[in-house]
Chain A
Amino acid sequence: MAILEVKDLVGGYGEVLILNGVSIQCFDNEIVSIIGPNGAGKSTLMKGVFGMLKIKQGSVVFDGKPITGMRASQLVKLGMSYVPQDNNVFPSLTVEENLQMGAFIRNDDITASLEKVFDLFPFIAKHRKAVSGSLSGGGRQMLALGRALMLDPKLLLLDEPSAGLAPLVRDEIFEKIIHIKQSGMAILMVEQNAKKALSMSDRGYVLVMGKNRFEDTGRALLDNPEVGRLYLGSA
Chain B
Amino acid sequence: MLQLFANGIVFGSIIALGAIGLTLVYGILKFANFAHGDTMTLGAYLALLFFNLQLPLPIAVALSVILSVVIAILIDQYLYKLFRSTGPIILLISSVGVALLLRNLVLLFWGPDLTYYSRDIQISYPVLPGLRFNNTDIGTMITAAVLIVLVHLFLKKTKIGKAMRASSDNMDLAEVVGIDTQRVIIWTWTVGTALAVTGGIMLGMENGLRPTMGWELLLPLFAAAILGGIGQPYGAMVGGLVIGIAQEVSTGYISTAYKPAVAFVIMILVLLIRPQGIFGVSKRWI
Taking Cβ atoms with an 8 Å cutoff, the residues of A that contact B are 50, 52, 71-73, 76-77, 81-82, 84, 87-93, 97-98, 100-102, 104-105, 133, 137, 147-148, 151, 164
Contact residues in A for B166 (Cβ distance below 8 Å)? 90, 93, 97-98, 101
Binary interface profile of B, 181-198, with partner A (CB < 8 Å = 1, else 0)?
A: 100000000000000000
Stretch at the interface among B56-64, B79-87, B106-114, B170-178: B170-178
19 additional A-B residue pairs with CB within 8 Å, beyond A104-B159, A104-B177, A137-B286:
A73-B175, A76-B176, A77-B178, A84-B176, A87-B170, A89-B173, A90-B165, A90-B174, A92-B281, A93-B165, A101-B162, A101-B163, A102-B178, A104-B163, A105-B178, A105-B180, A147-B177, A148-B177, A164-B286
Interface-centre pick from B159, B166, B180, B181 (highest chain A CB count, 10 A): B166
Shortest beta-carbon distance, A87 to chain B, in Å? 6
Contact residues in B for A151 (Cβ distance below 8 Å)? 178
Smallest CB gap from B162: residue in A: A97
Q: Are A73 and B180 in contact (CB under 8 A)?
A: yes
Given contacts A93-B165, A104-B178, A151-B178, contact A88 B173 (CB under 8 A): yes
The number of chain B residues with a CB under 8 A from chain A is 19
Q: Are A50 and B176 in contact (CB under 8 A)?
A: yes
Contact residues in A for B286 (Cβ distance below 8 Å)? 137, 164
Shortest beta-carbon distance, A73 to chain B, in Å? 6
Q: Are A92 and B176 in contact (CB under 8 A)?
A: no
Q: Is B71 an interface residue (CB 8 A)?
A: no
Q: Is B179 an interface residue (CB 8 A)?
A: yes
Question: How far is it, in angstroms, between the C-alpha of A199 and the C-alpha of B31 when the chains are bound?
Answer: 47
Shortest beta-carbon distance, A144 to chain B, in Å? 9
Q: Is B216 an interface residue (CB 8 A)?
A: no
Given contacts A84-B173, A90-B173, contact A104 B180 (CB under 8 A): yes
Question: How far is it, in angstroms, between the C-alpha of A105 and the C-alpha of B180 when the chains are bound?
Answer: 8
Given contacts A73-B180, A92-B281, A104-B178, contact A87 B162 (CB under 8 A): no
Partner of B281, one of A76, A91, A100, A147: A91
Contact residues in A for B162 (Cβ distance below 8 Å)? 93, 97, 100-101
Smallest CB gap from A97: residue in B: B162
Shortest beta-carbon distance, B154 to chain A, in Å? 14
Smallest CB gap from A77: residue in B: B178
Shortest beta-carbon distance, A82 to chain B, in Å? 6
Question: How far is it, in angstroms, between the C-alpha of A71 and the C-alpha of B174 when the chains are bound?
Answer: 13
Residue pairs across A and B with Cβ atoms less than 8 A apart, 24 shown, are A72-B175, A72-B176, A72-B178, A73-B175, A73-B181, A76-B177, A89-B173, A90-B166, A90-B174, A92-B165, A92-B281, A93-B166, A98-B166, A101-B174, A102-B177, A102-B178, A104-B178, A104-B179, A105-B178, A105-B180, A133-B281, A137-B286, A147-B177, A151-B178
Which B70-96 residues have C-beta < 8 A from chain A? none
Smallest CB gap from A74: residue in B: B178
Question: How far is it, in angstroms, between the C-alpha of A168 and the C-alpha of B89 when the chains are bound?
Answer: 45
Question: How far is it, in angstroms, between the C-alpha of A84 and the C-alpha of B286 when the chains are bound?
Answer: 17
Smallest CB gap from A137: residue in B: B286
Contact residues in B for A98 (Cβ distance below 8 Å)? 166
Binary interface profile of B, 261-283, with partner A (CB < 8 Å = 1, else 0)?
A: 00000000000000000000100
Question: How far is it, in angstroms, between the C-alpha of A117 and the C-alpha of B175 when the chains are bound?
Answer: 21
Smallest CB gap from A82: residue in B: B176
Contact residues in B for A52 (Cβ distance below 8 Å)? 176
